[in-house]
Amino acid sequence: MLTVKDLVNPNIKGKESEMELIESMYLQDIYLEDFKSVIHEYVNVFDEKHNLVGAIKTERLKYIVSKQRENLLTQVLDTMKTGFVAIDRDSRIFYVNHAYGKILNINISKILGRYLSVIEPEAALLNVLKTKQSQHINNQFIKSINKYVDINTHPLMDKDEMVGAYSIFTDVTDVNVLNKEVKRISAVAEEYGKQIKAEKFLEKNKIIGESKIFLDCVNKALKVANTDTMVLLRGENGTGKEIIANIIRNHCERKNKPFITVNCSAVPELLIESELFGYEEGSFSGASKGGKMGKFQLADGGTLFLDEIGDMPYQMQAKLLRALQEGEIEKVGRQKNIPIDVRVIAATNKPLEQMVSDGTFREDLYYRLNVVSIYVPALKERGNDVLLFADHFLEKYCKKYKRHLKIDRAAYQIFLAYDWPGNVRELQNTIESAVVLCDNDLITIDDLPENMKVKNVKTEGVTLPDSQKYEMQFDTLKEEVENFEKRVILQTINLFDGDKHKAMDRLGLSKRTFYRKLAKNGTEIE
């Protein structure tokens, strides 16, 4: 229940007053009759020892007392854990319970008797006075107090007449935070589960890699494997697109059927049609006796991997599209089409979207092939995977050439700093060359190719993994924090398949801060 203390203003003292009150008195024990002889503007308030502690404006006290006496439910409302505030038809606040003050972090003595339209002109409660309709606002975040509340506003009726309105506030911050944390943990658990699944698969199949970006690639391949949908693998040369194609093939229902590979860039333009579709005997000069089966026929019932699809001649693209759409091929020199059942996986290192825009790649074929797109990351994007590859190839070539070698710390740093334009193939060649040329038991920078020793390969700030093997070293704390922030942001973007807005929400960053942190770390994302 409200007391006199809830209304007293300690900054007002020494005013003339006919009425004197004790601050511990309940408002319900004050009666309107007590104000009959009161003519002064203020009522003085004292503590139990009769020390003046402040005053209350008479008009305000009279108003609150009158409203308190009108509603016997105030005793109940004061014990509620939900916040309650009531206003009259003029928007004047005549009742606030203690829970309301606690939830919204408001001193109720400063708002009782005042006009809500002045204190908070945009308050939802004011709309009730206009519309006479209840309103429900769920999970409203109040930034000033960092809380979530459910708000229910209703008209206050006296028979058929609206005499005011009231709001009920429920603090749902803990529930909201808990729900968000549950969702976050669930998302993390799901993501972790995907990575564990991918890691186990890689270990079982002796595929090298443990970076998140590569694990995501493998997981996506496993997810799409057991379907017949077309897949387009994107990535630089030497990134392992054929490995991903094999993963898809080996985990689909066609795994025991043929797996035929065609390198579109390696087949002469004049021969590409006969290579894909085959030809009949005598269809052209030099045709083999009995004709020849094309790659589509050879792959019938299984999987056809069209590597370097971006290099396919433009005129041939229309025939390929027709074969994919109709499920049948036209052999060179044959009048009747042949039905085929083939799952197609295509791969390219070319910017197909730009080629479509330039008119060098058919738009309809692009959309036919690009049902599911999987990006195979370059070696430079895979972080410490480069060290796993280096150790793998070191073991392989030491065994081949009967040597016992190690790689020193400086060389490992070069490996992490270098861009590897030739990707895994370049790294493999680098290690084999170093094993052959090394004059002692330790591969150093001197054993690496000249292009890896130039000054533009910067190793400053490159940290090795936490292992004695690599002799880990640290940047400055500031640099380490910035590098960590960068990794978290990039991983979060990847988690949401490139959706930067979702990444911002997950990380709790504003758009400005989000891009500033990326730019600070030398990362640009369109």
Split at pLDDT 50, 70, 90, the class of 371 is very high
Pick the range with the lowest mean pLDDT from 71-75, 128-132, 161-165, 516-520.
71-75
pLDDT digits (tens, 9 = 90+) for 336-356: 788 999 999 999 999 999 999
Confidence at 404, pLDDT banded by 50, 70, 90 = very high
What is the pLDDT, as a whole number, of residue 473?
Answer: 40
Q: What band does 471 get if pLDDT is binned at 50, 70 and 90?
A: very low
- Topology (CATH level 3) of domain 477-520: Arc Repressor Mutant, subunit A (1.10.10)
What Rg, from alpha-carbon coordinates, does the chain have? 38
Distance CA(147)–CA(144), nearest Å, equals: 8
Is the pLDDT reported for residue 309 higher than 70? yes
Q: Which CATH architecture has domain 225-377?
A: 3-Layer(aba) Sandwich (3.40)
The domain made up of 380-470 is a member of CATH 1.10.8.60:
yes
pLDDT at 512: 75
DSSP one-letter code for 457: S
CATH of 1-70, one of 3.40.190.10, 3.90.79.10, 3.90.1280.20, 3.40.50.1820: 3.90.1280.20
Provide the pLDDT for residue 287. 59
pLDDT at 468 over 70: no
pLDDT classification of 304: cutoffs 50, 70, 90: very high
pLDDT, residue 377, reads 93
pLDDT at 453 over 80: no
Position 474 scores a pLDDT of 43
pLDDT band for 420, please (50, 70, 90 cuts). Answer: very high
Delimit the domains of the chain by residue range.
1-70, 72-171, 225-377, 380-470, 477-520
CATH of domain 72-171: 3.30.450.20
First to last CA, the chain: 59
Mean pLDDT of 31-38: 78
Q: Per-residue pLDDT for 457 more than 60?
A: no
Q: Is the Cβ–Cβ distance between 97 and 83 less than 8 Å?
A: yes
Place of tokens 């433009």: 314
Specify the pLDDT at position 139. 78
In sequence order, what DSSP letters do the residues of 103-114 get, joined into one string? HHT--GGGTTTS
- Which residue bears the tokens 């894909």? 276
* pLDDT of 10 higher than 60: yes
Q: H-helix or E-strand containing 436?
A: helix 423-437
Exposure pattern of 191-203 as b/e (b: 16+ CB <10 Å)? beebbeebeebbe
Percentage of the chain lying above the pLDDT 90 cut: 24
